[in-house]
Protein backbone atom coordinates (compact mmCIF):
# COMPACT_ATOMS: atom_id res chain seq x y z
CA UNK A 1 0.00 0.00 0.00
CA UNK A 2 1.30 3.45 -0.94
CA UNK A 3 1.54 5.69 2.13
CA UNK A 4 0.11 9.15 1.52
CA UNK A 5 2.61 11.97 2.04
CA UNK A 6 0.60 15.10 1.23
CA UNK A 7 -2.41 16.26 3.21
CA UNK A 8 -4.85 19.14 3.41
CA UNK A 9 -4.25 19.36 7.17
CA UNK A 10 -1.61 18.28 9.65
CA UNK A 11 -3.07 18.25 13.18
CA UNK A 12 -0.89 18.12 16.29
CA UNK A 13 -2.57 16.26 19.14
CA UNK A 14 -5.11 13.43 19.29
CA UNK A 15 -6.82 14.42 22.51
CA UNK A 16 -10.47 15.40 22.53
CA UNK A 17 -9.95 18.58 20.48
CA UNK A 18 -7.68 17.06 17.82
CA UNK A 19 -9.79 13.92 17.53
CA UNK A 20 -13.07 15.77 17.01
CA UNK A 21 -11.55 18.28 14.59
CA UNK A 22 -9.71 15.59 12.63
CA UNK A 23 -12.82 13.40 12.41
CA UNK A 24 -14.93 16.40 11.29
CA UNK A 25 -12.43 17.22 8.53
CA UNK A 26 -12.32 13.59 7.37
CA UNK A 27 -16.12 13.53 7.16
CA UNK A 28 -15.81 16.68 5.03
CA UNK A 29 -13.62 14.60 2.66
CA UNK A 30 -10.45 16.48 3.58
CA UNK A 31 -7.15 14.60 3.93
CA UNK A 32 -5.77 14.72 7.46
CA UNK A 33 -2.58 13.58 9.20
CA UNK A 34 -2.63 13.60 13.01
CA UNK A 35 0.65 13.56 14.94
CA UNK A 36 0.34 12.66 18.62
CA UNK A 37 2.78 11.87 21.43
CA UNK A 38 0.24 9.48 23.06
CA UNK A 39 1.00 10.54 26.64
CA UNK A 40 -0.90 8.64 29.31
CA UNK A 41 -1.40 11.65 31.62
CA UNK A 42 -2.94 13.83 28.90
CA UNK A 43 -5.92 15.79 30.20
CA UNK A 44 -8.37 14.11 27.80
CA UNK A 45 -7.50 10.69 29.25
CA UNK A 46 -8.15 11.84 32.83
CA UNK A 47 -11.31 13.92 32.30
CA UNK A 48 -14.65 12.43 33.32
CA UNK A 49 -16.23 13.62 30.08
CA UNK A 50 -19.40 15.10 31.61
CA UNK A 51 -21.67 17.28 29.49
CA UNK A 52 -24.33 19.35 31.21
CA UNK A 53 -26.52 22.21 29.93
CA UNK A 54 -27.07 23.77 33.40
CA UNK A 55 -23.81 24.79 35.06
CA UNK A 56 -22.06 27.01 37.56
CA UNK A 57 -22.81 28.03 41.11
CA UNK A 58 -25.85 29.97 39.94
CA UNK A 59 -26.97 26.98 37.84
CA UNK A 60 -27.61 28.82 34.59
CA UNK A 61 -27.89 27.59 31.01
CA UNK A 62 -24.38 27.21 29.64
CA UNK A 63 -23.03 29.34 26.79
CA UNK A 64 -24.49 28.33 23.39
CA UNK A 65 -26.52 25.54 25.01
CA UNK A 66 -29.34 25.65 22.46
CA UNK A 67 -26.85 25.08 19.64
CA UNK A 68 -24.38 22.76 21.39
CA UNK A 69 -26.58 20.12 22.93
CA UNK A 70 -28.85 19.06 20.07
CA UNK A 71 -25.76 18.88 17.86
CA UNK A 72 -23.55 16.89 20.25
CA UNK A 73 -26.20 14.19 20.70
CA UNK A 74 -26.42 13.73 16.95
CA UNK A 75 -22.64 13.95 16.45
CA UNK A 76 -21.52 11.40 19.05
CA UNK A 77 -24.23 8.90 18.09
CA UNK A 78 -23.11 9.06 14.46
CA UNK A 79 -19.48 8.78 15.55
CA UNK A 80 -20.25 5.66 17.61
CA UNK A 81 -21.85 4.07 14.57
CA UNK A 82 -18.87 4.95 12.36
CA UNK A 83 -16.31 3.64 14.88
CA UNK A 84 -18.45 0.59 15.74
CA UNK A 85 -18.26 0.98 19.51
CA UNK A 86 -20.10 2.59 22.41
CA UNK A 87 -18.75 5.55 24.39
CA UNK A 88 -21.60 8.12 24.46
CA UNK A 89 -23.87 7.90 27.52
CA UNK A 90 -26.79 10.34 27.74
CA UNK A 91 -27.82 10.34 31.41
CA UNK A 92 -30.16 12.71 33.21
CA UNK A 93 -28.56 14.83 35.92
CA UNK A 94 -30.04 15.36 39.37
CA UNK A 95 -29.28 18.54 41.32
CA UNK A 96 -30.19 18.13 45.01
CA UNK A 97 -30.78 21.54 46.59
CA UNK A 98 -28.55 22.52 49.49
CA UNK A 99 -30.84 25.25 50.85
CA UNK A 100 -34.46 26.38 50.95
CA UNK A 101 -33.39 29.48 49.02
CA UNK A 102 -32.07 27.37 46.15
CA UNK A 103 -35.30 25.37 46.07
CA UNK A 104 -37.36 28.56 45.94
CA UNK A 105 -35.22 29.98 43.13
CA UNK A 106 -35.85 26.95 40.94
CA UNK A 107 -39.52 26.73 41.76
CA UNK A 108 -39.81 30.18 40.20
CA UNK A 109 -37.93 29.34 36.99
CA UNK A 110 -39.00 25.76 36.31
CA UNK A 111 -41.82 26.93 34.03
CA UNK A 112 -39.62 29.50 32.29
CA UNK A 113 -39.48 28.82 28.53
CA UNK A 114 -35.75 29.63 28.64
CA UNK A 115 -35.17 26.28 30.41
CA UNK A 116 -38.01 24.25 28.87
CA UNK A 117 -35.75 21.94 26.82
CA UNK A 118 -33.59 21.01 29.81
CA UNK A 119 -35.61 20.75 33.04
CA UNK A 120 -37.40 17.40 33.24
CA UNK A 121 -38.93 17.63 36.67
CA UNK A 122 -38.77 19.35 40.02
CA UNK A 123 -38.60 16.66 42.73
CA UNK A 124 -40.06 18.38 45.77
CA UNK A 125 -39.43 15.35 48.00
CA UNK A 126 -36.10 14.59 46.39
CA UNK A 127 -34.48 11.51 44.86
CA UNK A 128 -32.24 8.94 46.57
CA UNK A 129 -33.26 10.29 49.98
CA UNK A 130 -31.86 7.22 51.71
CA UNK A 131 -28.41 7.99 50.24
CA UNK A 132 -28.24 11.71 49.39
CA UNK A 133 -28.22 14.44 52.03
CA UNK A 134 -30.83 16.77 50.57
CA UNK A 135 -33.87 17.84 52.60
CA UNK A 136 -34.97 20.50 50.11
CA UNK A 137 -35.66 18.31 47.09
CA UNK A 138 -33.95 18.75 43.75
CA UNK A 139 -34.19 19.27 40.02
CA UNK A 140 -33.75 16.76 37.19
CA UNK A 141 -32.10 17.95 33.97
CA UNK A 142 -32.03 16.21 30.60
CA UNK A 143 -29.58 16.40 27.63
CA UNK A 144 -26.78 15.72 30.13
CA UNK A 145 -24.52 12.67 30.46
CA UNK A 146 -20.94 11.66 29.88
CA UNK A 147 -18.56 10.65 27.13
CA UNK A 148 -16.10 7.83 27.82
CA UNK A 149 -13.23 9.86 26.38
CA UNK A 150 -10.46 7.23 26.69
CA UNK A 151 -12.64 4.66 24.91
CA UNK A 152 -13.52 7.15 22.17
CA UNK A 153 -9.87 8.14 21.68
CA UNK A 154 -8.79 4.50 21.49
CA UNK A 155 -11.48 3.68 18.91
CA UNK A 156 -10.49 6.68 16.82
CA UNK A 157 -6.81 5.70 16.98
CA UNK A 158 -7.72 2.33 15.47
CA UNK A 159 -9.83 4.09 12.81
CA UNK A 160 -7.00 6.50 11.96
CA UNK A 161 -4.33 3.81 11.92
CA UNK A 162 -6.33 1.78 9.41
CA UNK A 163 -6.32 4.80 7.12
CA UNK A 164 -2.63 5.64 7.80
CA UNK A 165 -3.76 8.99 9.20
CA UNK A 166 -1.92 8.82 12.55
CA UNK A 167 1.73 9.01 13.57
CA UNK A 168 2.83 8.53 17.20
CA UNK A 169 5.69 10.93 17.76
CA UNK A 170 6.62 13.93 19.87
CA UNK A 171 7.36 17.00 17.76
CA UNK A 172 9.06 20.36 18.22
CA UNK A 173 8.20 23.68 16.60
CA UNK A 174 11.58 23.62 14.85
CA UNK A 175 10.65 20.35 13.09
CA UNK A 176 8.27 22.21 10.76
CA UNK A 177 9.39 24.09 7.66
CA UNK A 178 7.05 26.70 6.21
CA UNK A 179 7.35 26.91 2.44
CA UNK A 180 5.43 29.21 0.09
CA UNK A 181 2.19 27.20 0.08
CA UNK A 182 2.84 24.18 2.32
CA UNK A 183 4.20 23.14 5.70
CA UNK A 184 6.79 20.37 5.63
CA UNK A 185 7.49 17.83 8.38
CA UNK A 186 9.95 15.06 7.52
CA UNK A 187 8.66 13.64 4.22
CA UNK A 188 5.11 14.88 4.83
CA UNK A 189 3.47 18.05 3.60
CA UNK A 190 0.30 19.85 4.60
CA UNK A 191 -1.53 22.92 3.42
CA UNK A 192 -2.32 23.92 6.99
CA UNK A 193 -0.91 23.03 10.40
CA UNK A 194 -3.51 23.03 13.22
CA UNK A 195 -2.45 22.81 16.88
CA UNK A 196 -4.72 20.81 19.20
CA UNK A 197 -2.03 19.77 21.66
CA UNK A 198 -3.08 21.37 24.91
CA UNK A 199 -1.41 24.08 26.93
CA UNK A 200 2.21 22.94 26.89
CA UNK A 201 2.48 21.85 23.29
CA UNK A 202 3.62 23.96 20.38
CA UNK A 203 1.28 26.85 21.21
CA UNK A 204 3.86 28.79 23.21
CA UNK A 205 6.22 28.81 20.23
CA UNK A 206 3.74 29.52 17.45
CA UNK A 207 1.11 31.50 19.41
CA UNK A 208 2.95 33.34 22.22
CA UNK A 209 0.13 35.89 22.45
CA UNK A 210 -2.41 33.35 23.74
CA UNK A 211 -3.18 33.74 27.44
CA UNK A 212 -3.88 30.23 28.74
CA UNK A 213 -4.96 29.83 32.37
CA UNK A 214 -4.39 26.15 33.19
CA UNK A 215 -6.54 24.64 35.94
CA UNK A 216 -5.80 21.43 37.78
CA UNK A 217 -8.69 19.07 38.42
CA UNK A 218 -8.63 15.95 40.59
CA UNK A 219 -11.06 13.02 40.48
CA UNK A 220 -11.71 9.95 42.64
CA UNK A 221 -13.00 6.56 41.56
CA UNK A 222 -15.04 5.15 44.43
CA UNK A 223 -16.93 1.93 45.13
CA UNK A 224 -20.30 2.29 46.91
CA UNK A 225 -20.77 -1.50 47.29
CA UNK A 226 -24.15 -1.31 45.51
CA UNK A 227 -25.45 0.24 42.30
CA UNK A 228 -27.38 3.11 43.85
CA UNK A 229 -27.66 5.87 41.23
CA UNK A 230 -29.13 5.98 37.74
CA UNK A 231 -28.53 9.75 37.40
CA UNK A 232 -25.42 11.89 37.54
CA UNK A 233 -25.81 13.56 40.95
CA UNK A 234 -24.43 17.09 41.07
CA UNK A 235 -23.94 19.36 44.07
CA UNK A 236 -20.55 20.88 44.82
CA UNK A 237 -19.16 17.88 42.97
CA UNK A 238 -20.69 15.19 40.78
CA UNK A 239 -21.23 11.49 41.26
CA UNK A 240 -20.88 9.79 37.90
CA UNK A 241 -21.94 6.14 37.34
CA UNK A 242 -19.23 4.65 35.12
CA UNK A 243 -20.41 1.06 34.73
CA UNK A 244 -23.32 -1.20 35.62
CA UNK A 245 -21.74 -2.38 38.84
CA UNK A 246 -20.82 -0.28 41.87
CA UNK A 247 -18.07 2.05 40.65
CA UNK A 248 -18.50 5.81 40.34
CA UNK A 249 -16.31 8.79 39.65
CA UNK A 250 -16.48 11.76 41.98
CA UNK A 251 -15.05 15.17 41.23
CA UNK A 252 -13.73 17.53 40.49
CA UNK A 253 -11.48 20.05 42.19
CA UNK A 254 -10.54 23.42 40.70
CA UNK A 255 -6.97 24.52 41.42
CA UNK A 256 -5.21 27.26 39.46
CA UNK A 257 -2.35 27.58 41.93
CA UNK A 258 -0.69 24.15 41.72
CA UNK A 259 -0.63 23.35 38.02
CA UNK A 260 0.74 19.83 37.63
CA UNK A 261 -0.78 16.44 36.90
CA UNK A 262 0.18 14.78 40.21
CA UNK A 263 -2.70 13.83 42.56
CA UNK A 264 -2.40 15.77 45.82
CA UNK A 265 -3.33 15.12 49.44
CA UNK A 266 -5.09 18.51 49.49
CA UNK A 267 -7.20 17.58 46.46
CA UNK A 268 -8.09 14.19 47.90
CA UNK A 269 -9.11 15.67 51.25
CA UNK A 270 -11.25 18.27 49.51
CA UNK A 271 -13.02 15.60 47.46
CA UNK A 272 -13.60 13.35 50.47
CA UNK A 273 -15.13 16.25 52.43
CA UNK A 274 -17.46 17.14 49.53
CA UNK A 275 -18.48 13.52 49.01
CA UNK A 276 -19.31 12.98 52.68
CA UNK A 277 -21.34 16.20 52.72
CA UNK A 278 -23.37 14.87 49.78
CA UNK A 279 -24.02 11.20 50.62
CA UNK A 280 -24.35 8.96 53.67
CA UNK A 281 -22.99 5.82 52.06
CA UNK A 282 -20.03 3.59 52.86
CA UNK A 283 -17.41 3.73 50.14
CA UNK A 284 -13.85 2.79 49.29
CA UNK A 285 -11.50 4.90 47.17
CA UNK A 286 -10.09 2.85 44.31
CA UNK A 287 -8.25 5.47 42.29
CA UNK A 288 -7.19 9.12 42.49
CA UNK A 289 -6.18 11.00 39.35
CA UNK A 290 -5.37 14.56 38.32
CA UNK A 291 -5.29 16.39 35.01
CA UNK A 292 -4.86 19.91 33.65
CA UNK A 293 -7.78 21.65 31.97
CA UNK A 294 -6.71 23.83 29.01
CA UNK A 295 -8.61 26.91 30.16
CA UNK A 296 -8.19 30.48 28.90
CA UNK A 297 -8.20 34.00 30.39
CA UNK A 298 -11.81 34.70 29.32
CA UNK A 299 -13.11 31.09 29.48
CA UNK A 300 -13.64 30.95 25.74
CA UNK A 301 -11.71 28.62 23.42
CA UNK A 302 -8.77 29.72 21.28
CA UNK A 303 -9.73 28.94 17.69
CA UNK A 304 -8.62 30.42 14.38
CA UNK A 305 -5.75 31.10 12.03
CA UNK A 306 -2.60 32.98 12.97
CA UNK A 307 -3.05 36.68 12.10
CA UNK A 308 0.40 36.72 10.46
CA UNK A 309 0.42 33.24 8.89
CA UNK A 310 -2.79 31.72 7.55
CA UNK A 311 -1.16 28.31 7.09
CA UNK A 312 -1.01 28.01 10.89
CA UNK A 313 -4.13 27.46 13.00
CA UNK A 314 -5.25 26.41 16.45
CA UNK A 315 -8.22 24.58 18.00
CA UNK A 316 -7.52 24.62 21.71
CA UNK A 317 -8.54 25.92 25.12
CA UNK A 318 -11.86 24.08 25.31
CA UNK A 319 -11.52 23.78 29.10
CA UNK A 320 -13.83 21.76 31.32
CA UNK A 321 -16.69 21.89 28.78
CA UNK A 322 -14.75 20.33 25.93
CA UNK A 323 -17.14 17.41 25.39
CA UNK A 324 -20.06 19.76 24.73
CA UNK A 325 -18.08 22.43 22.86
CA UNK A 326 -15.89 20.32 20.57
CA UNK A 327 -18.40 18.93 18.01
CA UNK A 328 -20.23 22.20 17.30
CA UNK A 329 -17.10 24.37 17.31
CA UNK A 330 -15.17 21.88 15.15
CA UNK A 331 -17.90 22.10 12.53
CA UNK A 332 -17.90 25.90 12.86
CA UNK A 333 -14.12 26.06 12.45
CA UNK A 334 -14.20 23.79 9.41
CA UNK A 335 -16.87 25.99 7.84
CA UNK A 336 -14.63 28.99 8.49
CA UNK A 337 -11.58 27.26 7.01
CA UNK A 338 -13.49 26.62 3.80
CA UNK A 339 -15.00 30.11 3.57
CA UNK A 340 -18.51 28.93 4.40
CA UNK A 341 -18.95 31.08 7.53
CA UNK A 342 -17.15 33.80 9.51
CA UNK A 343 -15.60 32.82 12.83
CA UNK A 344 -17.44 33.83 16.01
CA UNK A 345 -15.72 36.76 17.68
CA UNK A 346 -15.95 35.12 21.11
CA UNK A 347 -13.60 32.29 20.09
CA UNK A 348 -11.44 33.97 17.43
CA UNK A 349 -7.79 34.19 18.54
CA UNK A 350 -7.62 37.67 17.03
CA UNK A 351 -9.10 38.91 20.32
CA UNK A 352 -6.07 37.65 22.21
CA UNK A 353 -3.65 38.90 19.53
CA UNK A 354 -4.98 42.47 19.84
CA UNK A 355 -5.03 42.24 23.63
CA UNK A 356 -1.41 41.08 23.70
CA UNK A 357 -0.22 43.81 21.32
CA UNK A 358 -2.06 46.47 23.32
CA UNK A 359 -0.30 45.33 26.50
CA UNK A 360 3.06 45.33 24.71
CA UNK A 361 2.57 48.86 23.44
CA UNK A 362 1.85 50.11 26.99
CA UNK A 363 4.77 48.33 28.63
Residue 2 has pLDDT above 60, yes or no: no
For residue 118, give every residue at least 6 positions away whose Cβ sits within 8 Å of its Cβ, in sequence order, or none.
53, 54, 61, 65, 69, 141, 142, 143
The whole-number pLDDT of residue 1 equals 45
Q: In angstroms, rounded to a whole number, what is the distance separating the alpha carbons of residues 338 and 39?
A: 31
Residue 143 has pLDDT above 80, yes or no: yes
- For 210-220, how does the pLDDT look when each residue is reduced to its tens digit (9 = 90+)? 999 999 999 99
Q: Are the beta carbons of 236 and 278 closer than 8 angstroms?
A: yes
Residue 134 has pLDDT above 50, yes or no: yes
Q: In angstroms, rounded to a whole number, what is the distance separating the alpha carbons of residues 260 and 264?
A: 10
Band (30; pLDDT cuts 50, 70, 90):
very high
For residue 217, give every residue at least 6 positions away whose Cβ sits within 8 Å of its Cβ, in sequence order, or none.
46, 47, 251, 252, 253, 254, 255, 290, 291, 292, 293, 320
Band (45; pLDDT cuts 50, 70, 90):
low
Q: What does each C-alpha distance from 62 to 47, 56, 319, 342 come to in angstroms?
A: 19, 8, 13, 22
Mean pLDDT of the region 31-47: 79
pTM exceeds cut of 0.75? yes
Q: In angstroms, rounded to a whole number, what is the distance separating the alpha carbons of residues 232 and 261?
A: 25
Q: What value, to the nearest 5°, has the Cα angle with vertex 41 and ends 39 and 46?
A: 125
Task: Find, among 333, 299, 345, the residue nearest to 319 by Cα.
Answer: 299
Domains of the chain: 6-46+150-212+298-362 (3.50.50.60), 93-141 (no CATH), 215-293 (3.30.9.10)
For residue 263, give every residue at least 6 positions away whose Cβ sits within 8 Å of its Cβ, in sequence order, or none.
218, 288, 289, 290
- For 147-205, how does the pLDDT look when each residue is reduced to its tens digit (9 = 90+)? 999 999 999 999 999 988 999 999 999 999 999 999 999 999 999 999 999 888 898 89
The whole-number pLDDT of residue 57 equals 73
The whole-number pLDDT of residue 106 equals 83
The whole-number pLDDT of residue 200 equals 80
The average confidence (pLDDT) of the chain is: 92
- For 312-360, how does the pLDDT look when each residue is reduced to its tens digit (9 = 90+)? 999 999 998 999 999 999 999 999 999 899 999 999 999 999 998 888 8
Longest dimension (CA), the chain: 67
Band (40; pLDDT cuts 50, 70, 90):
low
Residue 52 has pLDDT above 90, yes or no: yes
Band (271; pLDDT cuts 50, 70, 90):
very high
The whole-number pLDDT of residue 41 equals 53
Amino acid sequence: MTIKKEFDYIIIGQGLAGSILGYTLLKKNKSVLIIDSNEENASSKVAAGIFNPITGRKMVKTWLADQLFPFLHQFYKEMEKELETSFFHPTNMYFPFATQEKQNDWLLVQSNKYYKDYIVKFHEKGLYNQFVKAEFGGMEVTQAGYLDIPKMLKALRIYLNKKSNLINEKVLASDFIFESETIKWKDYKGKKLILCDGIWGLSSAFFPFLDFRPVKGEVLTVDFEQNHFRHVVNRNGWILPINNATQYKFGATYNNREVNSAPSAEGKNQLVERLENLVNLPYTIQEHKAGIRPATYDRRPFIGLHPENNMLGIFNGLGAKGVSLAPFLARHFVEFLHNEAPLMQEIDIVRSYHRFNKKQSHS
